[in-house]
Amino acid sequence: MRPLRIGVIGSWSGPYAGGGRQFDAGMAVWLAAHNQHIAGRPVELLRRDVPGSAPEQARRHAQDLVESERVELLAGLDFSSNAYAVGNVATQAKLPLVVMNAASSGITARCPFAVRVSFTIGQVALPLARWALQQGLRNVCTVVADYASGVDAESAFVSGITAGGGQVGAMLRVPLSTLDYSAYMLRLRELKPQAVFFFLPSGQMPATFLKFWRDRGMADTGIRLLATGDATDDHYLEGIGELADGLVTSHHYSFAHDSAANRRFTGIFENEYGSHLRPGYFAVAAHDALAAVDAAMSSPAARGNATGERLVDAFRGLKLDSPRGPVEIDAHTRDIVQTVYIRRVERRDGRWVNREFERFERVRDPGV
């Protein structure tokens, strides 16, 4: 049987290498449970390392995977800038591109061969704004990193607050190189909003922001702090748990999600990697990417070893029982439809977790 060759582009070196490891682990868990086969075919994963946002490098790797390695699908993509570049290659080659993280709203609209199994920033930020209004938090400020995803988060959260009659006292944008948040803390003290929403790229920036929040005594002001789940990604939550204690976030996956599918997923994950590596949202999206490829290639729509547009069409309307809960690929947009959870960081059984306590079901990307 001819192997199914999938080109996977992500970060396996540099400051974002944890994302590549999570991609690997999530795919390995799915393959281990399915005898290393997709739709009856053995699988070859051809990885290409693009450490961080480097669209030209991502494009070159994609071109090589298509022309020299003859892959049948492209996948991965942790940064949206890289996804747009690879999307151009996928469109020219007429190959499906399965997006396992990149969260800019425009990716599937720009690339007719892209299918997203992750999330969008707006998809998780807007429900948090609605939840905040339900709690009576009508006077807010935002602090976001000054790049595309930060602006997406700001736009979605602000639109949700203002649509519900709330007010936004200030929208503060932070350079990605920021190490000192003192001036921002001072400004927020002066404004005295009921809540502050922040979005900073997953990794060191949220931890630094939370440390300044604690050290400047911001919790004592009574201001509520809200964020998307990028700030408390499960795979590094143990390292920042105390700083994030009580933080309310919105996201589509938690290691602590209570379902049979997630217990199977986390159980296999822990057997394979031990307790030192916990699955985060990168891992669950990589797992679901292979599940979606298997379902699409096994479907009646893909009968006869479908490729190109026919295979992309086979993804439309797919429904999966994911470890995060029920997910669906929108038949029109090829984007993910899923439950968004409101969570609180808590210590449970000696481990820091994002405990889900409220949900918004069948959420679509509001940017489409």
Mean pLDDT of the chain: 95
CA angle at 332 for the pair 24 and 250, rounded to the nearest 5° = 55
Same fold flag, 4-119+259-334 and 122-251+341-363:
yes
Token pair of 256, please? 């602590």
Note the pLDDT tens digit of each residue in 251-283.
Answer: 999 999 999 999 999 999 999 888 778 999 999
Quick check: 308 and 91 in contact, CB under 8 A? no
Q: How many CB atoms lie within 10 A of CB 78?
A: 29
pLDDT of residue 108: 96
DSSP state of 266: H
Residue in this structure with the two tokens 């999330």, named with its chain if needed: 119
pLDDT of residue 304: 58
Backbone angles phi, psi at 338, to 5 degrees: -160, 170
Quick check: 322 and 360 in contact, CB under 8 A? no
3-state secondary structure of 349: coil
Cβ within 8 Å of residue 134, ≥6 positions away = none
Q: What is d(CA 363, CA 49) in angstroms, rounded to the nearest whole number?
A: 32
Backbone angles phi, psi at 87, to 5 degrees: -60, -35
3-state secondary structure of 341: strand
pLDDT of residue 148: 84
CA Rg value for the chain:
20
With both helix axes pointing from N to C terminus, report the angle between 148-163 and 121-134 in degrees, rounded to the nearest 10. 30
DSSP state of 189: H
Per-residue pLDDT, averaged over 320-329, amounts to 98
pLDDT of residue 141: 98
pLDDT of residue 286: 98
Task: Report strand pairing: 97-99 vs 73-76.
Answer: parallel
Cβ within 8 Å of residue 207, ≥6 positions away = 239, 240, 243
Exposed e or buried b per residue across 294-313, where buried means at least 16 C-beta atoms within 10 angstroms of its C-beta: bbbbebebbeeebeeeebbb
Quick check: 210 and 253 in contact, CB under 8 A? no
**Given this structure, which CATH class describes domain 4-119+259-334?**
alpha beta
In this predicted structure, the answer to whether residue 29 has a pLDDT above a threshold of 90 is yes
pLDDT of residue 147: 86
pLDDT of residue 235: 87
Per-residue pLDDT, averaged over 24-32, amounts to 96
In this predicted structure, the answer to whether residue 303 has a pLDDT above a threshold of 80 is no
Confidence of residue 305 (pLDDT cuts 50, 70, 90): low
Quick check: 226 and 246 in contact, CB under 8 A? no
3-state secondary structure of 281: helix
Q: What is d(CA 251, CA 235) in angstroms, rounded to the nearest whole number?
A: 14
In this predicted structure, the answer to whether residue 357 has a pLDDT above a threshold of 70 is yes
Per-residue pLDDT, averaged over 231-251, amounts to 94
pLDDT of residue 1: 79
Per-residue pLDDT, averaged over 29-50, amounts to 96
Of how many residues is the chain composed? Answer: 368
Per-residue pLDDT, averaged over 290-296, amounts to 97
Higher pLDDT, 273 or 129: 129
pLDDT of residue 368: 61
Cβ within 8 Å of residue 337, ≥6 positions away = 327, 328, 329, 330, 362, 363, 364
Residue 90, Cα to own-chain centre: how many angstroms? 21
Q: What is d(CA 100, CA 252) in angstroms, rounded to the nearest whole number?
A: 13
Backbone angles phi, psi at 233, to 5 degrees: -50, 130
Domain chopping of the chain, boundaries? 4-119+259-334, 122-251+341-363
Residue (of 354, 355, 352, 356) closest to 238 by Cα position: 352
**Given this structure, which CATH class describes domain 122-251+341-363?**
alpha beta
List 99's β-bridge partners, or say none: 76, 116
Residue in this structure with the two tokens 């007010």, named with its chain if needed: 167
Note the pLDDT tens digit of each residue in 64-122.
Answer: 999 999 999 999 999 999 999 999 999 999 999 999 999 999 999 999 999 999 999 99
Q: What is d(CA 193, CA 365) in angstroms, rounded to the nearest whole number?
A: 28
Q: What is d(CA 172, CA 154) in angstroms, rounded to the nearest whole number?
A: 9
